[in-house]
Structure 1
């Protein structure tokens, strides 16, 4: 069964949206595990801070089906498509990895943000430190150690309350 890695982020009612997103991921996928939740400032626009994490899961769905599930979850969370790249997000869910697959269609994998954004690479290195990037052939732990942290936005782990009864 393929293992997928998923980036999850929000800056609009972020705690509730992150809880909702994870609950929905558990509906579609099995063996869902999550990294710590990290907070960071918005980049490229004036907005509330973001909460980000990475999840892993097992799936029997194809890449296209996974992508459609993510779009459905985002829609249910109130996301409007066609917004500017750097803007507020109710819920943003992206497929980072689908096993070790490298492809351009139906979506580009591995997702490019893995190597360029601390808010993706750090939680991925936390949840899968010994997994190797299928192109770079370095572990995510090594990629994080080599990452130039001087030019990237700052992020910090937070104590996140996963209790969905709130």
Structure 2
């Protein structure tokens, strides 16, 4: 079984689509390790604020199969792919890491570059995998977060899933 970290983001009906994604992932993969939910301003375009989090899961699916599964979850949740790359979205699921695999596998780059450039990816990853090492940098996510300095603002938001608080502001 591969250990996978996945980023989840939404800036359209955020509560609904984040909940839907967690339901779909738990139904498909079982136990999830879930970071707090963060709110952040949109990056790369003017738009509504995003909710972002990172989920850890285990799977026997290949990277290609996992990518296809995530795309299907996005599609069921009305993901519109016709707009610009940086734009509003109901749901965005991205494979951040797949074990310690490095490279472009079946069109998916792992580890995903956004780990090192976006606070809304790195902080929730550090929350749930602080002592895990970035496959290329050979530094823990805690160390990477401690060195992070781009000034992106994000804050935790109250979020409840399946009757449990997974984050509190």
TM range, smaller chain: over 0.9
Mapping 1:85-164, distance limit 5 Å: 85-106=85-106, 107-150=108-151, 153-163=152-162
Misfit runs of 4+, over 3 Å: none
In 2, the alpha carbon distance for the partners of 1:100 and 1:30 equals 21
Aligned residue pairs, count: 162
Aligned-residue offset at 1:26? 1.1
In 1, the alpha carbon distance for the partners of 2:9 and 2:60 equals 24
Aligned-residue offset at 1:31? 2.2
* SS of structure 1 residue aligned to 2:15: helix
In 1, the alpha carbon distance for the partners of 2:44 and 2:101 equals 31
In 2, the alpha carbon distance for the partners of 1:161 and 1:35 equals 12
In 2, the alpha carbon distance for the partners of 1:74 and 1:109 equals 20
Structure showing the higher strand proportion among its residues: 2
Residue of structure 2 equivalent to 1:27: 27
Q: Which shifted more, 154-163 or 17-26?
A: 154-163
Task: State the TM-score, normalized to the length of structure 1.
Answer: 0.94
Aligned-residue offset at 1:43? 2.3
Residue of structure 1 equivalent to 2:16: 16
In 1, the alpha carbon distance for the partners of 2:64 and 2:91 equals 19
Q: Which shifted more, 38-47 or 71-80?
A: 38-47
8 Å CA contact 2:63, 2:105 repeated in 1: no
Q: Which shifted more, 91-100 or 74-83?
A: 74-83
In 1, the alpha carbon distance for the partners of 2:114 and 2:43 equals 14
Task: State the TM-score, normalized to the length of structure 2.
Answer: 0.92
In 1, the alpha carbon distance for the partners of 2:112 and 2:30 equals 22
Cα-Cα RMSD: 1.2
